[in-house]
Structure 1
Amino acid sequence: MGLAKKRHLSILPPEELPGTKAYTVLRAARKIFFMHGFSAATTDMIQREAGVSKSTVYAYYANKEALFVAVVQAECWAFQETIRAIKFSPGKLRETLSALAHTYLDIVLSEPGSYLYRIIVAEGIRFPALASTFYMAGPHVIAAMVAEHLASAVTSGEVDLGDVELDEAANVFVNLVRSEPQLLYLTHPDAAPSSQQIDRWVKVVIDTFMRAYGCSCYRIS
């Protein structure tokens, strides 16, 4: 794969509404964590960025760890909403898988997605609870959504998973999708795969997946 301009994905608002102090603090925390990482970031930095008093920060978030968990949950919530908007239509599994793959790559190749992933990998050994929070709120939920689509595809007769569990097949698909494009972006942080390269990769992934699990009338030769 070659390299192209990197992508951006806007964060959607968390439970705290935009305009509230809690939201202001969370946006400031997001900026500081993404800029400095978890270990180097401090609540003093976040307080100054938010333009509020330290007591205001602690009124909403007990400590730096709680702030980071809130940032992770807000980012993952935003990511989940884009996946959740994709609906399955019987007979159109390929179209559904293509939409899921492209949307998921938009997430992992976005600046927020890559920043968050880098922080989690860097801090996971020292703060396993933070890494677990990310996994359960992000990749685990995404795979569960894919599994729901695959369950519908089993019902419509488009796939036959045999003795493979739905969650196992979903994880196979999700990991195939993000593998090479994400690795390329992580090792070339100033660029991302082009749209043409992503289109090609998604086709290869779906063809591979359907050869393995697609029922005869839906497989490619």
Structure 2
Amino acid sequence: MTAVHDSDQDRELSPAVEESPESAKPRQILEGARKVFLVQGFDGASMGEIAKVAGVSKGTLYVYFDSKESLFEALTTEEKRGLAEVLFKLDPEDPDVRGVLRTLGLSYLRRMGKPEHISSIRMVMGAAEKFPRLGQAFYEAGPCQGIARLKAYFDRQVEAGRLSIEDTGVAAQHFLDLCVSGMLRRLLFSVGEPPTEEQIQKNVENALRVFFAAYGPDAPRQ
């Protein structure tokens, strides 16, 4: 599988060069909202400030988004779904399953450890208590999408005899959890520094070793 580098991901997540006015305006608003939310958080952000940073009037802002909650949900859904589509481009025909998962694990952990991603998670967690729908939207657009794509990949590998898995959905969750392996939790609580490339690679290799011990082609099904 061809590795997907962060620069490739950024290009794929960025808007197309040519957009219709109908699609360009909401994206302009979302870009402004992203800047305001990252600096001020969900509670501190206001629709007035978002309109100002986005370069639109409040009237125009409300044409596209009727509340701060709907704007935040749209931003979260777009970003997380786009990220899942980029990270989880897995070639089911590649016989080197370990290599495919290594590339995924490295890209996944590099993204999860980015300061802006950690800030987004904290922001959603803070807002979800008052607005549960925001937490649900974040989870469905991000983790659920990634797990579903990885599950589909595992289904194909089981059919090909390259993996031995009883529940591919659980296995998908296991692999991603093994990759982050406590690292994400430390970052969320601001414990220590962001992971180095060496630490990321070590985490992924450890994850692969444990995963294949449980789900390799010769592993017994429970």
Question: Structure 2-normalised TM-score?
Answer: 0.85
Partner-residue secondary structure (3-state), 1:72:
helix
1:178 shift after superposition: 2.1
Gap change, CA 1:169 and 1:129, over 3 Å in 2: same
Q: Which runs of 5+ in 1 are unaligned?
A: 1-6
The equivalent position to 2:149 in structure 1, one of 140, 145, 154, is 145
Q: Distance in 2 between matches of 1:98 and 1:136?
A: 24
Q: Which amino acid aligns with 2:64?
A: Y
The equivalent position to 1:26 in structure 2, one of 27, 30, 34, is 30
1:27 shift after superposition: 0.4
Q: Distance in 1 between matches of 2:182 and 2:50?
A: 35
Which residue of the partner structure matches residue 47 of structure 2? Answer: 43
Partner-residue secondary structure (3-state), 2:181:
helix
1:144 shift after superposition: 0.7
Once the two structures are overlaid, the 10-residue window that deviates more, 190-199 or 36-45, is 190-199
Per-residue CA distance 1:151-197 (angstroms, 9 max, x = gap):
121012121124xx211111111122223221232233783111111
Question: Structure 1-normalised TM-score?
Answer: 0.85
1:14 shift after superposition: 6.3
Q: Distance in 2 between matches of 1:200 and 1:10?
A: 25
Partner-residue secondary structure (3-state), 1:122:
helix
1:105–1:178: 8 Å Cα contact kept in structure 2? yes
Which residue of the partner structure matches residue 88 of structure 1? Answer: 92
Partner-residue secondary structure (3-state), 1:216:
coil
Which residue of the partner structure matches residue 195 of structure 1? Answer: 197
Q: Distance in 1 between matches of 2:209 and 2:151?
A: 18
The equivalent position to 2:174 in structure 1, one of 172, 175, 181, is 172
Per-residue CA distance 1:68-124 (angstroms, 9 max, x = gap):
011101211331232243323342110111111112112211233212111111122
Which residue of the partner structure matches residue 3 of structure 1? Answer: none
Q: Distance in 1 between matches of 2:158 and 2:179?
A: 20
Between the aligned residues of both structures, percent identity stands at 28
Gap change, CA 1:90 and 1:13, over 3 Å in 2: closer
Q: Distance in 2 between matches of 1:75 and 1:138?
A: 8
Which residue of the partner structure matches residue 75 of structure 2? Answer: 71
Q: Distance in 1 between matches of 2:211 and 2:126?
A: 32
Once the two structures are overlaid, the 10-residue window that deviates more, 197-206 or 186-195, is 186-195
Q: Which runs of 5+ in 2 are unaligned?
A: 1-5
Q: Which amino acid aligns with 1:191?
A: E
Partner-residue secondary structure (3-state), 1:160:
coil
Q: Which amino acid aligns with 2:209?
A: D
Which residue of the partner structure matches residue 58 of structure 1? Answer: 62
Gap change, CA 1:171 and 1:14, over 3 Å in 2: farther
Once the two structures are overlaid, the 10-residue window that deviates more, 25-34 or 98-107, is 98-107
